[in-house]
A and B are shown apart, each in its own frame.
Chain A
Amino acid sequence: MKILKEFALGILWAALTPLLLVVIAVVAVFAIGNFFYEFVLMVIHFFQGKKLFPPFEEDIKAYKILKRSIEEEEKKEEAKPAPAGPVYVQANYFTGTPPGMPPFPGDPRIGNPSSPYGVPPSVPPVPPPPIENREVPAIENKEGGDDQ
């Protein structure tokens, strides 16, 4: 149906094409006069120091209104407080050795005279506690194990 409608409109417009050509010829005569009129206006604007085709007053007003509304939107966005997000407290275990505890063996400040924290008193390295001999419980070999 759409194709038939397009076909019918095409026939109608083709039948109206001679009338359209007549109207175009009339508008072309107007276009010649309009060309010289706009050309004279352009020359006047040039000698007045304005742009050749200055924007219309209505366009300037519309531009100001749009710009003001955009600036107001931006101000509203800036005025909104930043949402308070979750605060993660990162525990830093390497700021120093808690009192009563032996220094971490890998702490570079041990024995380093240029360290801003100074040279802690030399403490002999403490050997790790011995692993007690304990019986390891046997793992029961259940059915369906990896031995299959």
Chain B
Amino acid sequence: MMNLFISLSETDKRALIILVILLVVFLILIALIGVAVRKTMIYQSKRADTMMHDATITHVVDTPKAFLNLGRRKNNRLLYRQSIPAFLLALLATIILIIGNLVNGRWGDNIFAVTGELFFAYDFDSAIVHVFGIPLIGNWPAVIHSPEFHIENLYIYMETLFYVAAIIVEAVACQAYISRWQMLHSRARTVFSKSLDGYNASDDIKVKRDKPLPPSD
């Protein structure tokens, strides 16, 4: 391995070191995303305990089936409440779409492609170089398209923004639903489980001891 490293040219060594650093940074970023997702789901799942606490401690629900039944109904109702903002945003975007297209008659336009005109577009194909067979960005990519703002597309920009916001809000609500569902199933198993750890059946046996014999003379 060291002989292979020594036989490489200086340029290749630098490229290899940069590749390793980029790989480590990439892994750290990916891990941070995963940690964020996991922590968010743990935080969202605690709502399930709040939902089921009173009914469980008072033994109104005393079987796993009854626990899951009530938990499912409460979870569905909470999903509905958390989905209301997303549906309102989508409804608002749809109203803007309908009114705008009734005025302009642009029913066939792709609203996301039109909104994409607000951002830079790059040519990544010309910038990619292959290092040890791995495609990496070697040069600054060329700009294909610069941002352009057209006032007649303003209603399309607004409805795209509202649709994207609705998708994000609904995705978070669905993630919370999944987290609570997983917590409910976990609690249904553990809350009503009984354990025999540390119990020994022979400890309960009470041996009737005979009276001791009087001391002999």
Residues of A within 8 A of B (CB): 6-7, 9-17, 20, 23-24, 27-28, 31, 34-35, 38-39, 53, 56, 58-59, 61-63, 65-66
Contacts and interface: CB of A to CB of B under 8 A. Distances in A.
Given A28-B174, A62-B55, A10 B77 contact: no
7 contacts: A11-B27, A20-B175, A24-B174, A27-B177, A28-B171, A31-B83, A56-B70
B155 interface: no
A147 B87 CA distance: 96
A11 B34 contact: yes
Interface of B is mostly: helix
A58 B80 contact: no
B33 interface: yes
A21 to B, nearest CB: 8
B170 interface: yes
B54 A10 contact: no
Given A24-B171, A56-B70, A59-B55, A14 B79 contact: no
Interface of B: 27-28, 30-35, 37-38, 54-55, 57-58, 60-61, 70, 73-74, 76-77, 79-80, 83, 87, 170-171, 173-175, 177-178
Given A11-B27, A62-B54, A31 B174 contact: yes
A34 B80 contact: yes
Contacts, number: 89
Contacts of A9: 34-35, 38
Given A56-B74, A62-B58, A35 B83 contact: yes
Contacts of B27: 11
A9 B38 CA distance: 8
A136 B58 CA distance: 84
Contacts of B171: 24, 28
A39 B31 CA distance: 40
A17 B54 contact: no
Contact of B34 (A12, A35, A56): A12
A58 B35 contact: no
B34 A31 contact: no
Contacts of A63: 54
A126 B120 CA distance: 113
A34 B54 contact: no
B177 A58 contact: no
Contacts of B57: 62
Nearest to B75: A34
A34 B79 contact: yes
